[in-house]
Structure 1
Amino acid sequence: MQAEDRLHYMDHLRALAMLAGVLFHAALAYSPLMHAIWPTADTGRSLVVDGAAWFLHLFRMPLFFVVAGFFAALLVARRGLGGLFRNRCARVLLPLLLFLPLVTASMYGLTQHAAATVRHPSPVLAWLRTYIDRHDTMPFVPGWAHLWFLFYLMLFTVLVWVASALELRRIGDSLASLPAALLPAVLPVWLALPLVWAGVPWPAPDALLPSLWALVFFGTYFALGYGMYTRADLLDRLRPLSSWLLCGAVAAYALLFWSSRGFTAAVRPSSWGHAVLQAYAGCWLTLWCVLVARRWLDVRNRTLRWLADASYWVYLVHLPVLFAIQYGLLDVRLHWSAKFALATVCTLAVSFASYQALVRHTVIGRLLDGKLPATARRPATASDAIFPVPDPQVDMKERDA
């Protein structure tokens, strides 16, 4: 398999994982589980939303870190550890530092305005309204918001350096070298350990200080992706298990959802049984997505390429746009499904349009898309936004170095 073959499906996987975040965050406003703590929580909600949203939640970010680990290994092989660090500082750290203040300030302002003006506030907005009346200001809790994944990606970049110095980079290779039937059987048991403390479903680790469970949990997926690059035969060995992985994951999730009564009985720390079911469902779905993408998304396609280019920008800015729309919908009398569809479509439309009109051909666009100058030796692709991209001319010996 040529390096170029791997470029397309991994790049498309990264984009789809990011765009799925818009669906997930839009759904939380109509989630019974999140009703008491989500700022845009609507009076209309359904258990169906929780069933679909948390199913997507199980594998969306694990899939992202698998892809991130894969491209980290590729970049180390081509440019060394220094090249990896320079790439991540430009494509991850700089966007994080630039966009975090803008995202935080916009969401703070939107929420403050909604608390003062919305006639049918969510429980969070109602509490904030009382707090503002008493203290004449709105509380502020610093954190990474929905950009926490960039923070952890930088941490894993540093850990690659540490692992290299301590000769620990073989962890990912060891994961990838497990027998095909043994990897999906054993890996979720290890993943269940941090999930026992994190809870069911696992929360976003968006606090300023890193969470140990998140370092272990997402770090394992990062190491798995790293091993997928160094052991190129792994996906070939897993391919015969594709159907079993999907069926097993759906069964494990159905049992998890039923046994936790739609997660209403889930607590932190969670039971070992719930953690195991969550780990197996998420791990198997992640592996299945990679296998399916390799089979169906390993193609050149202009539409997918444009979506991949736009996905980084869309994810960075979508939450303030979504909150602005859903705050406005709190006073609109519509069924929750109509509000969900309207909020999702409008958020994507605004985000995509702003990318095309204001970002794509600007300095910001070049920063996010990783566009190299015209005199560069190779064209940039969307993967450069967060991940390095293999040169199509690199042969197998260089790729496997």
Structure 2
Amino acid sequence: MNTSAQMSEANPRLHYMDNLRAIAMLTGVLFHAALAYSVLAHPLWPTADRGQSFIIDLFAWFFHLFRMPLFFVVTGFFAALLVQRRGIAGMLKNRFMRIVLPLLAFWPLVYFSMTGLISRAVTEVENLSPLLQMIKPWVLDPNAATAPPTLAHLWFLAYVMCFCILVWVAFTLEWAKYLHRLAAIAPISQVWLAPLLLVPALMSVPAPFPAPESLFPQWWALLFYGFYFLMGFRLSHQAAWLDQFKPQVARLLLSSLLAYALFLYLLQAKGMTQTDWFSKVILALLQAYAGYGMTLVCLIAGQRWLDVHHGFLRYIADASYWVYLVHLPLIFAIQIPLMDVNLHWSAKLLLSVGTVLGIAFLTYHFLVRGRMLGRFLNGQQRGR
């Protein structure tokens, strides 16, 4: 998820990747905070509030379709750079130090803090969400079985490491040479054919596709996010690959917006479910094409307008790992008391997002940046 300063300084084309990562991270904080006020997520989200709005669904699920795919493109891109500069062994060592060790260190803190917050909420909050109402008897029963642990939002780190190991396997078996053969496919064919590879994975899970939080890897997530990781890995080796889509960017944007509009219409306005095969196919196709198209649009726009050294975005990119690790427990800690507060949903959303970002960036600046914890996460010393 993070890269060294030397990489960005050595190659100016890397600036847009760092800046895209910064924007995607901020979008992630907004997305997780907005789920409390989503109509679609209301039955399933722990901090679901009484105030809900279709406006939240309109924007939140749109970003959901390409936010994490874009993150995996970025991680695949930088994994390829590590292989080029340090070799497979150097890449694996770097990813172990920057991904596995932070995952092992922060997972207990994240998991038990969120579990404690939920346990406290079921006893202190009056206006419980539907999910908390359902699990309240189980939480209060001392003889109840313990729920299996999950990775929470840290599942991203586990999958990045899985893909890095698969890169090692691919290089060992000399599969990397097949990447170059993909370049022979015409751009318009890639736009229409590539998303079809994602349909089997998306058909196997509810729509919108969920977060694969279980401790064990799920095949659909390996296929779905592995596709985007490979996309970033290839982009690092073939920088000109993205250029061939630039003449089509307007059509990509328009078709992605139309696919998303139809997806949301079927999912919400018509109450379409995934109980039959036809519904699964349609919803999977719409998610695949909208997500893939918007990911390409973001990469092209980033390369066009964000391929510069911008101090503000660079600071956010440097802080993104820390903000990613701590933001979800902070959201729960802030939104649980707000469930009993009589405020409009928009005010609660602004309050929760502003408070989370304020705490996350202040702690990063004074406790992480340029300190031992910062070196542990980012592998480098940065001035305060």
**Shared fold by TM > 0.5?**
yes
Which position in structure 2 is the counterpart of 1:146?
A: 153
Which position in structure 1 is the counterpart of 2:319?
A: 310
Deviations 1:343-389 (A, max 9, x none): 111111111111112111211112223315xxxxxxx89xxxxxxxx
CA distance in 2, matches of 1:67, 1:3: 17
CA distance in 1, matches of 2:179, 2:281: 25
CA distance in 1, matches of 2:355, 2:183: 41
CA distance in 2, matches of 1:231, 1:132: 52
One-letter amino acid of the counterpart of residue 64, structure 1: F
Which position in structure 1 is the counterpart of 2:138?
A: 131
One-letter amino acid of the counterpart of residue 156, structure 2: F
CA distance in 2, matches of 1:182, 1:283: 13
Paired residues of 1:200 and 1:263 also in contact (CA < 8 A): no
**Correspondence for 1:60 among 52, 60, 67:** 67
Which position in structure 1 is the counterpart of 2:250?
A: 243
Paired residues of 1:93 and 1:150 also in contact (CA < 8 A): yes
Identical positions, percent: 49
Q: Structure 1 residues 330, 171: CA separation in 2 closer, same or farther (over 3 Å shift)?
A: farther
Paired residues of 1:172 and 1:226 also in contact (CA < 8 A): no
Deviations 1:253-295 (A, max 9, x none): 0011112235842337752111111100000000110000001
CA distance in 2, matches of 1:255, 1:18: 27
Which position in structure 1 is the counterpart of 2:57?
A: 50
Deviations 1:70-109 (A, max 9, x none): 1111111111100110110011111111111100111111
CA distance in 2, matches of 1:165, 1:121: 52
**Correspondence for 2:299 among 283, 287, 290:** 290
SS in 1 for 2:204: helix
TM-score by length of 2: 0.92
**Correspondence for 2:231 among 224, 228, 246:** 224
One-letter amino acid of the counterpart of residue 369, structure 2: R
Q: Number of matched residues?
A: 373
Which position in structure 2 is the counterpart of 1:350?
A: 359
CA distance in 1, matches of 2:77, 2:110: 29
**Correspondence for 2:96 among 83, 86, 89:** 89
CA distance in 1, matches of 2:226, 2:233: 10
Paired residues of 2:187 and 2:244 also in contact (CA < 8 A): yes
Ranges of 4+ aligned residues in structure 1 off by more than 6 Å: none
Alignment of 1:7-22 (within 5 A): 7-22=14-29
One-letter amino acid of the counterpart of residue 196, structure 2: V
Deviations 1:305-361 (A, max 9, x none): 111111110110001111010001001001111111111111111111111121112
Deviations 1:123-161 (A, max 9, x none): 222233322333367843311100101000000011001
Which position in structure 1 is the counterpart of 2:308?
A: 299
Paired residues of 1:256 and 1:278 also in contact (CA < 8 A): yes
Q: Structure 1 residues 24, 73: CA separation in 2 closer, same or farther (over 3 Å shift)?
A: same
One-letter amino acid of the counterpart of residue 277, structure 1: L
Which position in structure 2 is the counterpart of 1:369?
A: 378
Which position in structure 1 is the counterpart of 2:334?
A: 325
2:213 maps to 1:206: yes
Unaligned runs of 5+ residues in structure 1 are 373-379, 382-401
Paired residues of 1:15 and 1:312 also in contact (CA < 8 A): no
**Residue 162 of structure 1: how far off its partner (Å):** 0.9
Quote the RMSD (CA, aligned, Å): 1.9
**Residue 3 of structure 1: how far off its partner (Å):** 5.8
CA distance in 1, matches of 2:259, 2:29: 25
CA distance in 1, matches of 2:134, 2:243: 53
Which position in structure 2 is the counterpart of 1:72?
A: 79
CA distance in 1, matches of 2:228, 2:117: 35
One-letter amino acid of the counterpart of residue 15, structure 2: H
SS in 1 for 2:49: coil
**Residue 66 of structure 1: how far off its partner (Å):** 0.8
Which position in structure 2 is the counterpart of 1:395?
A: none
Paired residues of 1:257 and 1:263 also in contact (CA < 8 A): no
Which position in structure 2 is the counterpart of 1:377?
A: none
CA distance in 2, matches of 1:75, 1:263: 47
SS in 2 for 1:169: coil
One-letter amino acid of the counterpart of residue 294, structure 1: Q
Deviations 1:5-51 (A, max 9, x none): 22100111122222211111111111122212211010111122112
Which position in structure 1 is the counterpart of 2:196?
A: 189
